[in-house]
Amino acid sequence: MAIIVQKFGGTSVGSLERIEAVAEQIIQTKSRGHQVVAVLSAMSGETNRLLDLAHQLDANPSPRELDMLLASGEQVSISLLAMALIKRGYSAVSLLANQIGLRTNNRFNKARIKYIDNTRMLTELQQGHVVIVAGFQGCDDEGNVTTLGRGGSDTSAVAIAASLQAKECQIFTDVDGVYTTDPRIEAQAKKLDQVSFEEMLEMASSGAKVLHSRSVEFAGAHKMPLRVLSSFKSGSGTKINFNEANLTNNPVTAIASQKDEAMLTLFGISNDSLLKKELFLALAEADIEVDMIQQASINHKSNDLIFTLHRNDYLKADEIVNGLIRSNLLDKSCGDDKLVKMSLIGSGIRSNTKVSRQLFECLHENNIELFLISSSEIKISFLVKPQVHDLLVKALHQKFKLDQ
Ligand code: ASP
Ligand code: MG
């Protein structure tokens, strides 16, 4: 008997009807002879509602208390699902993170999972129960409630699946799989039957919302087979494949976008190593994540440095940079906090030299200005203005024949 972990997101448990449908889905999986562990999100809108309550009370709420509050959303959905199964004559037990020994570090609001004690879950499964676990939450060494960051229940599910050595971790959501690009922008977007693990990792970290990027990292580290499926319609979804061989003939597999990007350019850096040390230390202390970094040396005396970050961190980063100007570590800076990062992702990019040429052709044909470009083995990322985003998605989708 294999263990299957099924994660249901907020819209999949968004109403009592939806919760009843999830119960049916679990019963189907059980009837195929599997043991099921379900990991749930809060009912859709609930985490936002709780967050809003906290912010009405205090613009900067205590991180510990915020986690205590936000974790309550999942407690509601897991107990309701257990009731729905019990009503149907199945035995089920709902469990909070501390009841399954899901330990995290103590970084409230963005805690990381350290380990999971699978004893309780295995005992419950052996007794024939469906185990229903609250996603998104954890417990630190002192017993405080923590949460894993927005969208974190995907990561809970993968970590739980890994700790149980499950056969597969299935992420049920409101779309029927992973698409070549956002189908709301490009109607020709196609569902992918499978994507390679490394492509999925790049997609998740480049803005594709379907999976929390840490969950993909976790799956990679534990070689946990993942599948994204719809909880609204049947189908085999998208399998995240660890076998890289010959997934597609196209060099590009998908186009992902990350809105809310900002860029800062630092001019006239005299002492490069000192500036970088001071800058990246201050950014790290302010908990600001830097995304792309590029450097150009106009002459040998001074350097320019460009980096990108999330728009929400722009003002804080700008203050840090202004401090460095006052300390004479650079001459001046400029920035833009309204940009979109687009990424072309595909295992085939590695061996195909035409991709960047085709990208520039496409930009030229559509008269689109590009701000910063960086490429890695299987990804080319660049920044554009938000106004041209949708047009460029469509043009690139066609250029790279993603609809075929
Ligand atoms: N309920 C949490 C959120 O809305 C966690 C999740 O859904 O993954 O972010
Ligand atoms: Mg999600």
**pLDDT single digits (tens) 7-40:** 999 999 999 999 999 999 999 999 999 999 999 9
Inform me whether the pLDDT recorded for 244 exceeds 80: no
Cβ(182)–Cβ(18) under 8 Å?
no
- Residue of 41, 160, 174, 213 to test ligand 1 pocket, by largest number of atoms within 8 Å of CB: 41
Cα–Cα dist 310/204, whole Å: 15
Helix/strand/coil for 382? strand
* Residue ranges lining ligand 1, Cβ < 6 Å: 9-10, 41-42, 47, 73, 135-136, 150-153
- Which residue has tokens 């320019």? 304
- Residue of 150, 212, 216, 218 to test ligand 1 pocket, by largest number of atoms within 8 Å of CB: 150
C-alpha of 21 from chain center: 26
Helix, strand, coil share (%) of the chain residues, nearest 5: 40, 30, 35
- In the chain, domain spans: 3-174, 255-399
Inform me whether the pLDDT recorded for 254 exceeds 70: yes
Task: Quote the pLDDT of residue 245.
Answer: 58
The enclosing H or E element of 146 equals: strand 145-147
- Which residue has tokens 């970088």? 276
Q: Tokens representing 227?
A: 């599948």
- The pTM score is 0.87
CA distances from 272 to 232, 266, 276, 307, 377 (A): 54, 11, 6, 15, 27
> Measured in angstroms, how far is the CA atom of residue 71 from the centroid of ligand 1?
9
Q: Who has greater pLDDT, 100 or 233? A: 100
> Measured in angstroms, how far is the CA atom of residue 154 from the centroid of ligand 1?
9
CATH of 255-399, one of 3.30.450.20, 3.40.50.2300, 3.30.2130.10, 1.25.40.10: 3.30.2130.10
Provide the 10 A C-beta neighbour count for residue 149.
14
pLDDT tens by residue, 150-186: 999 999 999 999 999 999 999 999 899 999 999 999 9
Q: Which residues pair with 35 in a beta bridge?
A: 3
pLDDT tens by residue, 273-292: 899 999 999 999 998 999 99
Nearest protein Cα to ligand 1, atom 5: 151
Closest CA to 155 of 109, 212, 210: 212
Inform me whether the pLDDT recorded for 247 exceeds 60: no
Q: Secondary structure of 168-225 in the HEC alphabet?
A: EEEEEECCCCEECCCCCCCCCCCEECEEEHHHHHHHHHCCCCCCCHHHHHHHHHHCCC
Give the model's confidence band at 130: pLDDT under 50 very low, under 70 low, under 90 confident, else very high. Answer: very high
Q: Which atom of ligand 1 is nearest to the CA of 10?
A: 7
- Which residue has tokens 């809108």? 45
CATH fold for the domain made of 3-174: Carbamate kinase (3.40.1160)
Sheet holding 290-297, edge to edge: 290-297, 303-310, 254-269, 332-345, 379-384, 373-376
Give the model's confidence band at 136: pLDDT under 50 very low, under 70 low, under 90 confident, else very high. Answer: very high
Task: Quote the pLDDT of residue 358.
Answer: 94
Q: Tell how many helices (H) and how many strands (E) occur in the chain.
A: 12, 20
* Ligand with smallest separation from the Cα of 10: 1
Which residues are placed with Cβ below 5 angstroms of ligand 2, an ion?
Answer: 9, 151
